[in-house]
Structure 1
Amino acid sequence: MDGTPQEITTLVGREVYSNNGVYVGEVEDVRLDLDQEVVTGLALAELNRELFEGRIQRGKGVLIPYRWVRAVGDVILINDVIERLKKPEDETEVAV
């Protein structure tokens, strides 16, 4: 992120991938802190079924913290922490 202001609406509809290239979902909405005028989270829909299977009801989305975002361009790249969800044997808590 280069610090250049962007219209928030430009985030909606962008695909989200982990740093490792795993598709996570598509931005449906953004969560804002109006006092600080910053984006605090991304609401994702069209989720990667394999990644979220058994954890999120079909038709539901997830909210990821914006601090996980590493780059915004044609797509949005986030930390690969999201991939920990794929391993049910790994009981590490991931707030989504």
Structure 2
Amino acid sequence: MLEEASELIGLQVYTSNGIFLGNVNNLVIDLENKRVDGLFVSETNPLLVEESKAVNVPFRWIMSVGDIILLKYFPKRVTTKKAAAKI
């Protein structure tokens, strides 16, 4: 059982299908409500996130936390939106 939120940093994150997403690099904190709002994962799996961009995984997507973090939801693929070319 985790005793401190900082123990989440460095844990591996997996989708519900067992695909490695990346490691937790930081926590997204809601200071007003004093709670963890999400997990910041950088250097993500390029099969899941275009260009291995960093993502914020909302805490509500987490299924369980132990030796690893298992997500109950993650999109099939995260892509970056390119700005439309001006004519």
Q: What TM-score, normalized by structure 2, do the two folds share? A: 0.77
CA contact (8 A) 2:62 2:73 kept: no
Aligned partner of 1:64 in structure 2 is 57
Gaps of 5+ in 1: 89-96
Gaps of 5+ in 2: 80-87
Secondary structure in structure 1 of the residue aligned to 2:48: helix
Secondary structure in structure 2 of the residue aligned to 1:49: coil
CA contact (8 A) 2:9 2:25 kept: yes
CA contact (8 A) 2:13 2:68 kept: yes
Deviations 1:12-47 (A, max 9, x none): 000000111011111000011122221001100131
Match of 1:44 among 19, 26, 41: 41
Residues 74 and 42 of structure 1: CA distance in aligned 2, closer, same or farther (over 3 Å) = same
CA contact (8 A) 2:44 2:54 kept: yes
Which structure: larger Rg?
A: 2
Q: Superposed, which structure 2 residues align to 1:12-91 within 5 Å?
A: 12-53=9-50, 56=51, 58=52, 60-82=53-75, 84-85=76-77
Residues 61 and 81 of structure 1: CA distance in aligned 2, closer, same or farther (over 3 Å) = closer
RMSD: 2.1
Structure showing the higher helix proportion among its residues: 1
Runs of 4+ with deviation above 3 angstroms: none
Number of aligned residue pairs: 79
